[in-house]
Amino acid sequence: MATLSDVATRAGVSVSAVSRVLSEKPGVRVSVATRQRIHDAAKELNYRPNFTARALKSSRTHAVGLVVPGVTNAIFAELMRGVEEEAKSKDYMVLIASTERLPEGEESIPRLMGEGRVDGVLVQFGDHLSGDDLRTVTDSGLPVISINTINPGRGGSVRLEDEAGMRLATEHLIELGHTRIGYAGGVPTSESGQRRLAGFLGAMADATLTVEPELVTEFGYYPKQGAQALDAMAELSTPPTAVVVANINAAHGVLSEARRLGIRVPEDMSIVAMHDTWTAEIAWPPLTCVRLPLYELGRAAMASLWDNINSGTAEDRVIADPAPELIVRESTAPPAR
Amino acid sequence: MATLSDVATRAGVSVSAVSRVLSEKPGVRVSVATRQRIHDAAKELNYRPNFTARALKSSRTHAVGLVVPGVTNAIFAELMRGVEEEAKSKDYMVLIASTERLPEGEESIPRLMGEGRVDGVLVQFGDHLSGDDLRTVTDSGLPVISINTINPGRGGSVRLEDEAGMRLATEHLIELGHTRIGYAGGVPTSESGQRRLAGFLGAMADATLTVEPELVTEFGYYPKQGAQALDAMAELSTPPTAVVVANINAAHGVLSEARRLGIRVPEDMSIVAMHDTWTAEIAWPPLTCVRLPLYELGRAAMASLWDNINSGTAEDRVIADPAPELIVRESTAPPAR
DNA sequence: CTAGCATGATCAAACGATTGTTCACGAGGA
DNA sequence: TCCTCGTGAACAATCGTTTGATCATGCTAG
């Protein structure tokens, strides 16, 4: 790899001249002739500035960390796509740090953050990491944006309209005529989970429908936990005729468990889920979903982080555009009689 | 962030002493007393070695690039999980570089590789990048491992048993009694696509079944192209009774297109697909698949890259353990008749 | 004729860590 | 007493860039 000084030698000038010319700072005084020679030499040697040296000098790595609960789900994929795209436009790279099966005394996150590897971090904690973990991260002093979890004290979060989304989902079932509606939510410690539950309860209250406690489950956002939620509801003397699932991944679990139990969807039970990923269409029946802008969430998160890195400001943003939208497919229908 | 010299000052010793003690190289002569003082000081200041400085001095970034065609598919997710896990165990980080919608004159890959940001690169080129692109990457001088594409000339690839896998899939249909079998493959320029096609043709030949050219399509690995393949076959005067799809993502496209056209699966047409991701189970009908070890492929790729980085050796490996396995679900059945 | 100044370029110090070389000191042998 | 050698530690160069300070030159103005 050619270095600055290689270019300097070839062009017959000093290193600093080369540096100044190639970095194109306004107001540098270099004659047109040498400028040309430097550009030529750089091109001939295929010069590329060494990233590590730059990072050391400027304490900017042009990289951000993305901490996610896991990489094998479609929600992550959508989010990731947004982050990746925005990062590219800002000339940043994305470093993935997956926290699945986080071992005791995990060191990788503090290391990621403490060693000056990244300029900032995006965290999407799933079910299994708590507010305490979030605090550890935010206390590191690095710019941090938390995705879809509000960050108590230290600002910097990007969220979706979870509550409005769940209202939409619930109202859809109510309009279809369902009155006994179950809820399969995230774990109670999840802040987004609380907002989603509030949306569900709000919509039910507005329709003056009662919600029996046994119909509200909070097992988590993953397929297994969706299955678990359905099991719990199926055991009831009178199961619900419809279920609002707070996460599409859990909804896939609900669907396969329903198949296992011989519950027909939507004939015996309607299902509506939060988030509209491509997997909703390949499921059977295709899932009625509330689409929330995950891609835009990713973009916004990266954009906010960039702002935070460059100006130190950290606001809490809610991504409301595009607004939550109900996508009706084939997993919902009026209650059987 | 505390630096080495902060620690040195606090412990009342020189920077080099601290460096030597903390890096724990064998054969350093430092008294027990100062050693202790250094460790204490480091702990009190919560010292962490600065990654950029280390990288500059040692020309090792402890990061690798993962170049993939896209992040929103389950195959990538599985692969990624393997790469990520192996990287973690080797104390490496993974930088994602997605090539979807690669603009003209894309600069991000050369930049990723040329600026000393990573110690090596893992490339999984999908359909839309050719051998030429691969060569650009391998010619950079950086260690490169190509995933599931053999790397002409310069070694370093990790592959799956594509041919054996496709044989398994095809034989399954033959055993069910199908004789008129279609093939929905990857684009002809894809090297893995060629191996898969060979597997299909081989199995057909072994069973002395003829393959009419019109039944062999090579549109690509994505859902849309799967749909396109089905369209082409459905137009035939006598469509096949079964289709081997060379990629599960394409198979999802086949499935939804079949639904659109009113073709019942498996009653009217059986479908078997390559790769067994979690989406196979949520599809309707759940897809019969050939499971190839994608997670292990990811791990092996990262392990090979690590070897390559550290020893300069680049071999071509085929991941044969676990062996290809047919997972029979509900998308295949004997031909109607 | 020279002080003053704009111009175009170089010098040199830093960023934080690593590492070969040197140094100070005391013990041991001649 | 002098030289040698081993020990424990400091010195200093280096990785490749960036950037404030400095310098040489030629020109203009007083």
| pLDDT averaged over every residue in chain B | 91
Exposure letters B283-308 (e unless 16+ CB within 10 A, then b): bbbbbbbbbbbbbbbbbbbbbbbbbb
For residue A190, the model assigns a pLDDT of 85
Residue B12 CA to D11 C1' — how many Å? 16
Structure token digits, residue B333? 């059945």
B203, B264 Cβ separation under 8 angstroms? no
Give mean pLDDT, residues A24-47.
91
Q: Nearest CA to B70 among A77, A177, A200? A: A77
Alpha carbon A49 to its chain centroid, in Å, reads 32
Q: Considering only the beta carbons, identify the residue of B56, B100, B284 that sits closest to A284.
A: B284
Which residues of A are less than 8 Å from B88 in CB distance? 108
Do the chains contact at A283 and B281, CB–CB below 8 Å? Answer: no
Which residues of B are less than 8 Å from A84 in CB distance? 71, 96, 98
A77: left (phi over 0), alpha (psi -120 to 50) or beta: alpha
Confidence category of residue A26, pLDDT binned at 50, 70, 90: confident
Residue A231 burial by Cβ neighbours in a 10 Å radius (0-12, 13-18, 19+)? middle
Q: How far apart are CA A276 and CA A75, in angstroms?
A: 8
Q: How far apart are CA A63 and CA A309, in angstroms?
A: 11
Tens of pLDDT, residue by residue over B265-324, are: 999 999 999 999 999 999 989 999 999 999 999 999 999 999 999 998 888 999 999 999
- Supply the DSSP symbol for B271: E
Taking C1' of D7 and every protein CA, the nearest residue is B29
Tell whether A224 is within 8 A of chain B (Cβ): no
Tell whether A254 is within 8 A of chain B (Cβ): no
Residue A261: other Cβ atoms inside 10 A = 14
Alpha carbon A213 to its chain centroid, in Å, reads 30
* Residues A100, B307, B158, B227, Cα dihedral to 10°: 40
Q: Assess whether B45 (CB) lies less than 7 A from strand C.
A: no
B294, B192 Cβ separation under 8 angstroms? no
When mean pLDDT is compared across A42-51, A181-190, A270-279, B24-33, the lowest value belongs to B24-33
| Largest Cα–Cα separation, chain B | 89
Q: Assess whether A311 (CB) lies less than 7 A from strand D.
A: no
Tell whether B63 is within 8 A of chain A (Cβ): yes
Which residues of A are less than 8 Å from B255 in CB distance? 282
Calculate the alpha carbon distances from B104 to A47, B100, B107, B155, B285 in Å. 21, 12, 9, 28, 40
For residue A140, the model assigns a pLDDT of 76
Q: Assess whether B51 (CB) lies less than 7 A from strand C.
A: no
Do the chains contact at B81 and A73, CB–CB below 8 Å? Answer: no
Q: Considering only the beta carbons, identify the residue of B56, B77, B117 that sits closest to A56.
A: B56
Q: Quickly list DSSP for A147-209.
A: ESS--SSS--EEEE-HHHHHHHHHHHHHHHT--SEEEE---TT-HHHHHHHHHHHHHHHHTT-
What are the pLDDT tens digits along chain B (337 aa)? 899 999 999 999 999 999 999 998 877 888 999 999 999 999 999 999 999 999 999 999 999 999 888 888 889 989 999 999 999 999 999 998 887 755 555 666 777 778 899 999 999 877 666 566 666 777 778 899 999 888 766 778 999 999 999 999 999 999 999 999 999 999 998 888 999 999 999 999 999 999 999 999 999 999 999 999 999 999 999 999 999 999 999 999 999 999 999 999 999 999 999 999 999 999 989 999 999 999 999 999 999 999 999 998 888 999 999 999 999 999 999 998 6
Angle between helices A4-11 and A32-44 (to 10 degrees): 120
Residue A25 CA to C12 C1' — how many Å? 21
Residue B17 CA to C22 C1' — how many Å? 15
Do the chains contact at B282 and A73, CB–CB below 8 Å? Answer: no
For residue B134, the model assigns a pLDDT of 66
Tell whether A72 is within 8 A of chain B (Cβ): yes
Task: Kindly give, in sequence order, each residue whose CB lies less than 8 Å from that of residue A58, ignoring residues fewer than 6 positions away.
Answer: none
Q: Assess whether A22 (CB) lies less than 7 A from strand C.
A: no
A window 77-96, beta carbon within 8 A of B: 77-78, 80-81, 84, 88, 93-96
Residues 47-106 of A with CB under 7 A from strand C: 53, 56-57, 59
A284, B284 Cβ separation under 8 angstroms? yes
Q: How far apart are CA A183 and CA A273, in angstroms?
A: 10
What is the percent of chain A with per-residue pLDDT over 90, rounded to a whole number? 75
For residue A108, the model assigns a pLDDT of 67
Task: Kindly give, in sequence order, each residue whose CB lies less than 8 Å from that of residue B132, ignoring residues fewer than 6 positions away.
Answer: none
Residues 14-53 of A with CB under 7 A from strand D: 15-16, 19-20, 22-23, 25, 47-50, 53
A171, A288 Cβ separation under 8 angstroms? no
Q: Nearest CA to A128 among A103, A111, A95, A158? A: A103
Q: Considering only the beta carbons, identify the residue of A73, A95, A114 that sits closest to B93.
A: A95
A196: left (phi over 0), alpha (psi -120 to 50) or beta: alpha
Q: How far apart are CA A129 and CA A99, in angstroms?
A: 9
- Supply the DSSP symbol for B214: G
Structure token digits, residue A290? 């509330």
Alpha carbon B140 to its chain centroid, in Å, reads 21
Give mean pLDDT, residues A163-168.
98
| Local structure of A14: helix, strand or coil | coil
Q: Assess whether B15 (CB) lies less than 7 A from strand C.
A: yes
Q: Considering only the beta carbons, identify the residue of B51, B76, B88 that sits closest to A115.
A: B51
Q: Is the pTM of this model over 0.85?
A: yes
Q: Considering only the beta carbons, identify the residue of B48, B61, B94 that sits closest to A114.
A: B48
